[in-house]
Amino acid sequence: MAIRKPSEYFDREKASVENVIRGSIENPELNTFSDAYDAFKRNLSKVDVLTDFSETLGNYQSNIEKVNHLSEKIDEIDGDIKKLLTKEDLDKALVSQLLFLEECIRDVQEKVKGINQKNLTQVKLDVSSLSETVNTFIDDELPRYEKLVSDSEIRLTNRCEVLEEELKETLDNIKDVVDEKYIDDFNSLASLNNIPNSALDNSSVSYGGVTLNLGDTDATPAFNLSDATNYPTSSLSGTISAAQLANTAVSAGSYTSADITVDAQGRITAASNGSGGGATIRAATFYGANASQSITTETTVDLDQTLTTTGTGDFTVSASGVVTVVNTGLYVITYSISTDVTSDSTRTGTYAYLRQAGSGEVTASRVYMYTRNLATGEATGSKSLLINVTSGNTTFEVRAGRLTGPETVIAIGTESTFTFYNVS
């Protein structure tokens, strides 16, 4: 088997790599020589998709999302470009070729061991040729390979720059269109003076049971205030009927001598039939046993006899005719005094009044009597007063005396009375 020249391997690898790079540049649909380049092609396809922006206002939000997505993809493209075939990739390819050469050399060395001098000479020639091929690859082919890679990177960079400019221009156009559209819409809204209720989702409002269409008015709305709190009573007007009052615990009806309970608001909170009997009556009438008591000099008329009384617990009378009212209250007090003279000579005047608590004269209690002579008979004076007795055991007495004339004057006790009647 003839030994293959290492240059043949290099020629084959060189042609393969070069053709692949040229084919990839001229025809993007061909398979590439590295994973990085495949990623680059996919990103170019993504860029083509990202240029599909809608210029209508209805797709504005979708375009904004695509712009954001485009920004992310540009970042990915930038990262992938950095990962494209670089000088490091070239170094790795060269190392792999050198490893292949080393393997071929080892194979030659194994075969040299068993060849003669003639064959050894041929091997030297082959090695020389191999060295020449390697030098040619390093001096000629490798720079060309580097140049192709560099040109590819430059073209990719240029295309990305062009794409970036196109995207910026497209975004600016979208922005101008959207701004113009929204400005028109805003101007249209600003010019609206009347929106019909039929164009609204909610064309009425309801508060407190009162419903009004938008734009309507009601100067006296009949609000339902059943749930109102802290509503001032000063704001209420009109008449509250019995039907509007809350029921109490008292049963409706008539009560006899009712016992009732009234609260601070004047409401009857309890009622029941009473035992009857009414108010307690306190009354008494007194008169005198002496038919000719001298009153020439003023004295207390001796009305010490009890004609009638409601009880000694209410009134008492002394021997001189002084009556004690035991209980306080409002009393009607009436006295009547009959007087006369003992001789038939001259005209005589007498007087009488009511004294309270042993001194003084009760206002407006005085009366006057006039006797012409013995033959004309006695004279009578009376007075009735309503007096408020504010202290228990208050005393009252009738005082009488001669006003004019020299004659002896007497009080006829049997014809005189002293009456007390408690009215409250």
Q: What is the pTM of this model?
A: 0.39
Confidence of residue 159 (pLDDT cuts 50, 70, 90): confident
Q: Is 286:303 a contact under the CB 8 Å cutoff?
A: yes
Beta-carbon count within 10 A of 363 CB: 11
Residue 242 neighbours by CB under 8 Å, 6+ apart: none
Burial of 63 from C-beta contacts in 10 A (0-12 / 13-18 / 19+): buried
Confidence of residue 90 (pLDDT cuts 50, 70, 90): low
Euclidean distance between CA atoms 418 and 284, whole angstroms: 8
Q: Which two tokens stand for residue 266?
A: 């004047």
Q: Is 315:309 a contact under the CB 8 Å cutoff?
A: yes
| pLDDT tens digits for range 322-373 | 999 999 999 999 999 999 888 766 788 999 999 999 999 999 999 999 887 7
Higher pLDDT, 209 or 367: 367
Please state the rounded mean pLDDT for residues 413-424.
94
| pLDDT tens digits for range 96-110 | 767 777 777 777 667
Judged by DSSP in three states, 366 sits in coil
Please state the rounded mean pLDDT for residues 68-96.
63
Q: Quick one: pLDDT at residue 13?
A: 45
Confidence of residue 319 (pLDDT cuts 50, 70, 90): very high
Q: Is the pLDDT of residue 86 over 80?
A: no
Euclidean distance between CA atoms 56 and 58, whole angstroms: 5
Higher pLDDT, 222 or 300: 300
Euclidean distance between CA atoms 230 and 45, whole angstroms: 73
Please state the rounded mean pLDDT for residues 172-180.
81
Judged by DSSP in three states, 177 sits in helix
Q: Is the pLDDT of residue 415 over 80?
A: yes
> What is the distance, to the nearest Å, from the Cα of residue 373 to the centroid of all Cα atoms in its chain?
99
Q: Is 226:209 a contact under the CB 8 Å cutoff?
A: no
CA dihedral 94, 98, 103, 109 (to 10 degrees): 160
Domains belonging to the chain, first-starting first, are: 6-187 (no CATH), 283-422 (2.60.120.40)
Q: Is the pLDDT of residue 261 over 80?
A: yes
